[in-house]
């Protein structure tokens, strides 16, 4: 899934706040990250073209068409392929090497492994 950072900005607002007009979305992003109106509307158009967002009339209402979890899962798969030879164990080993797991995290991982058996 090829989602740019700018498109993620649009989606994050919609996921957090729910569907809204493009003008309200612009005001939020102007305040949050300093976007101009033209930037916001250009990125909304790209999101619509890619099928990430739906435009509903009247009022140019923007609705997210993809779920946050689906995007995060797709991004994780991309990272796995690009940096860890598509190996979850290689990824996990590198991940925990930098920051040891707490006892609670170890237990949660054990629970996940047990459910997968």
pLDDT tens digits for range 14-64: 999 999 999 999 999 999 999 999 999 999 999 999 999 999 999 999 999
Domain limits for position 95: 69-116
Query: Do 107 and 56 belong together in one domain?
Result: no
E runs forming strands in the chain: 20-21, 53-56, 61-64
The pTM for the full model equals 0.76
Query: Do 60 and 95 belong together in one domain?
Result: no
Q: Count of domains in the chain?
A: 2
Partnered with residue 62 across adjacent β-strands are 20, 55
Query: Do 82 and 59 belong together in one domain?
Result: no
CATH, residue 42: 1.10.10.10
d(CA 46, CA 11): 12
Query: Do 48 and 20 belong together in one domain?
Result: yes
């Amino acid at each position: 899934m090829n989602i740019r950072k700018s498109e993620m900005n649009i989606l994050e607002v919609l996921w957090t706040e729910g569907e809204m007009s493009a003008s309200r979305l612009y005001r939020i992003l102007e305040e949050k990250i300093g976007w101009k109106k033209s930037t916001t509307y250009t990125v909304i158009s790209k999101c619509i073209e890619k099928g990430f967002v739906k435009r509903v009339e009247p009022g140019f209402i923007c609705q997210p068409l993809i779920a946050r979890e689906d995007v995060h899962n797709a991004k994780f798969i991309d990272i796995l392929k690009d940096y860890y030879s598509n190996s979850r164990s290689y990824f996990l080993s590198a991940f925990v090497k930098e920051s040891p797991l707490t006892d609670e995290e170890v237990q949660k991982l054990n629970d996940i492994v047990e459910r997968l058996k």
